[in-house]
Chain A
Amino acid sequence: MKSNGAQILINSLQSEEVEYIFGFPGGAVLHIYDALDTQDEIIHVLVRHEQGAAHAADGYARASGKPGVVLVTSGPGITNAVTGIATAHMDSIPMVVISGQVPSPLIGMDAFQEVDATGITRSCVKHNFLVRDINEIASTVKKAFHIATTGRPGPVVIDIPKDITIEQITPKSYPKEIEMRSYKPTVKASNRQIKKAAELILNSQRPIIYSGGGCVIGNASNELREFTRMSGFPITQTLMGLGAYPGSDELSLGMLGMHGTYESNMAMYGADCVIAIGARFDDRITGNLDKFCPNAKFIHVDIDPSQISKNVVADIPIVGQVKQVLEVLNEELKDKKLQDISKWWSQINSWREVDSLAYRKKSGVIKPQTVIETLYEVTKGEAIVTSDVGQHQMWAAQYYMFDEPRRWINSGGLGTMGFGLPAAMGAKLAMPEKDVACVTGEGSIQMMTQELSTMLQYSTPVKIINLNNGYLGMVRQWQEFFYDKRYAMSYMDALPDFVKLAESYGHMGILVEKEADLKPAMLEAFKQKERTVFVDIKTDPTENVFPMIPAGGAHCDMLLAGRDEMVSKDETDLNAV
């Protein structure tokens, strides 16, 4: 029996065991929607904006570890999705995006709703395809999933001209394997390099483990725990790595970088051996490269060779899957005697005493930090927390202790405001049993409120924790520090009534203006298992995120809360350790 291209496409997606497609229809994909309608294996989630589709698929992928799938029409459909695709790309999230294209004969004719989708997305995808032949649909889908999910994961776009979805052929069975001579992601790491790393580790006096998103993406949490506990080394995690190692554990120093803890950054500065595992030395981590870890040798484990020695030259590069590398490394270190690092720990503990996340409560205002602490308490640290971008994101990262991977879902690389809500919807679909909270700000949430409608339609109960400080707070903070308090455009004078907004979408809304009401409101919100609840919390508009390393600063130059002067600890005598 013959099938058209659209049916072949949908069958291919079924073969890939796709559960959900996040999408929005339009002319170029009508045949695909028609084919979707006659099956019930895949559930299509109709978003309200294509950017929401991409973020929701992304949230689904981050929570489940499976690739997210998006379907959009040509022209404005795919351009709307670009922000979401770029967001996934920057954070190495597996995603397959199918975009309709104008019929093949019209390509290049400035046809209605034509954009050069592969051209536009080229620099923000892992790969993209323009399908030119109906016979290539199945193999292209196979390749797309293979590329998106192996090696360093990332989004793949498949652009399909409408005529190809209409054409009919007798389909072949879906390919079981795919062989690409030009794509062979490295799988097994060099044992020699791992042995060298083990040697450096055994000789280090002031080691630190710096782990990142690669440990989450690569499902290497257990191996990371084993490595850290066996070595007894201090561990600091990037914004993207949080949870791979339990944040509440005593070996954990918390996050590092621009808004990292004092002890993390000081330990990086003082270390003689930095073991980077699935982290990419982002500029929010390194600050001033000339002053980055001035005394350290670097071991760098990454699946992507181009990340190694990009910003910081690795002394011992190891290209491979974190999981496999750590398995071998753990075996290598078993029963070996490490250096006594108790002096290093006592130095670190003295940095810990600075208590860099301490903050002072003020009567009459709700501190944003308190909100996150309350969220942590009410959810017993077990919720999946998504976030938008800004101060609230940093507070969520600092004050919610993530003890498991895939519980913390945020846009780190691109820093996309609007990410949080649709990502929470995707995460809830992936993990229906878990409580999902979206920590957001009144600025960010307004970029995606339309998805509240989708969330009603598909019953994805999420708790929205809006840290409403009345400002684009992160922008305001920089203006306070670096622009002489000239607050250009960081204030919005016409905020909606978020409670009514939520209610008009059929959800529940709670306004919190007093600290005493905070915990009861959250308890109430989480009691509503079947409903999305928008908790709008008026927080201190003047609060800033501390610690902070100003752009271009070194790890030892930190602004701490409640101090007017920058603490600069360059003089710390590390050789004494």
Chain B
Amino acid sequence: MRHIISVLLENETGALSRVSGLFSQRGFNIESLTVAQTNDPGLSRMTIVSTGNDRVLEQIVKQLNKLIEVVKVSDLTSQDHVERELMLVKVCPTSKDELDIKQLVDIFSCKIVDVTEKTYTIEISGKTKKINAFLNALDSAIIMEVSRTGVTGISRGKKAILK
């Protein structure tokens, strides 16, 4: 099962390596990991996508909680939540592909954020599935490079990670 785990942790040097070290040390897998400071500059928030059965997930959550710098761990997958990922993709279409690309950008409601003589850079955000679908729809021959943020997420409604 795929899980999205939110981790709130003290914004201290070494905290990130403690989390990533934990995953490799215990053989937990990481599909993606994103991290940045929150509105409280003392706190970072990390979103980890991992897979594993319930026993594995239970251990992941408990082991994360055991890290001294971790303030809160929450499995978003077990609650109503919103998840998003952002991708930048640079393509170099031949002139006959250009029309296709503009159509695709419309269909997937994403944006062309940079244009040069020979290249377009497209920004798309959404669920991982949508991003994968967009990538599949592009002709792989014209993709120059792809950069994805990995998933970030937040619970819906009145609940917040600290409340």
Query: A residues within 8 Å of B by Cβ?
Result: 118-119, 122-123, 126-128, 130, 132, 147, 180-183, 304-306, 309-310, 313
Question: 8 Å CB contacts to A: which residues of B114-142?
Answer: none
Given the contacts A122-B17, A122-B21, A130-B13, A306 and B63 also touching, CB distance less than 8 Å: yes
Contact B21 A309 (CB under 8 A): no
Contact A181 B71 (CB under 8 A): yes
Given the contacts A122-B17, A122-B21, A306 and B71 also touching, CB distance less than 8 Å: no
Q: Would you call B58 an interface residue if the criterion is a C-beta within 8 Å of the partner chain's C-beta atoms?
A: yes
6 contacts between A and B (CB under 8 A): A122-B17, A122-B18, A122-B21, A123-B21, A182-B69, A182-B70
Q: How far is the CA of A130 from the CA of B12 in the complex (A)?
A: 10
Q: Which residue of B lies closest to A307 (CB)?
A: B62
Residue in A128, A132, A180, A304 whose CB lies within 8 Å of B66: A304
Find chain B residues with CB under 8 A from A128 CB: 14
Question: 8 Å CB contacts to A: which residues of B36-71?
Answer: 55, 58-59, 62-63, 65-66, 68-71
Contact A309 B68 (CB under 8 A): no
Q: Would you call B151 an interface residue if the criterion is a C-beta within 8 Å of the partner chain's C-beta atoms?
A: no
Find chain B residues with CB under 8 A from A182 CB: 9-10, 68-71
In terms of DSSP, what is the predominant structure of the interface of chain B? helix
Q: How far is the CA of A147 from the CA of B66 in the complex (A)?
A: 11
Find chain A residues with CB under 8 A from B9 CB: 182
Find chain A residues with CB under 8 A from B63 CB: 306
Contact A127 B68 (CB under 8 A): yes
Tell me the minimal C-beta distance from B66 to chain A in angstroms.
Answer: 5
Contact A118 B14 (CB under 8 A): yes
Q: Which residue of B lies closest to A127 (CB)?
A: B68
Residue in B10, B21, B59, B69 whose CB lies within 8 Å of A310: B59
Q: Would you call B147 an interface residue if the criterion is a C-beta within 8 Å of the partner chain's C-beta atoms?
A: no
Considering the complex of A and B, which 10 residue pairs feature the smallest CB-CB distances, nearest first? A306-B62, A127-B68, A182-B71, A183-B68, A305-B62, A123-B25, A306-B63, A182-B69, A306-B66, A182-B10
Find chain B residues with CB under 8 A from A127 CB: 68
Tell me the minimal C-beta distance from B57 to chain A in angstroms.
Answer: 12
Contact B68 A130 (CB under 8 A): no
Contact A309 B65 (CB under 8 A): no
Tell me the minimal C-beta distance from B138 to chain A in angstroms.
Answer: 40
Residue in A147, A181, A305, A313 whose CB lies within 8 Å of B65: A305
Q: How far is the CA of A130 from the CA of B17 in the complex (A)?
A: 14
Question: 8 Å CB contacts to A: which residues of B2-33?
Answer: 9-10, 13-14, 17-18, 21, 25
Question: 8 Å CB contacts to A: which residues of B45-101?
Answer: 55, 58-59, 62-63, 65-66, 68-71
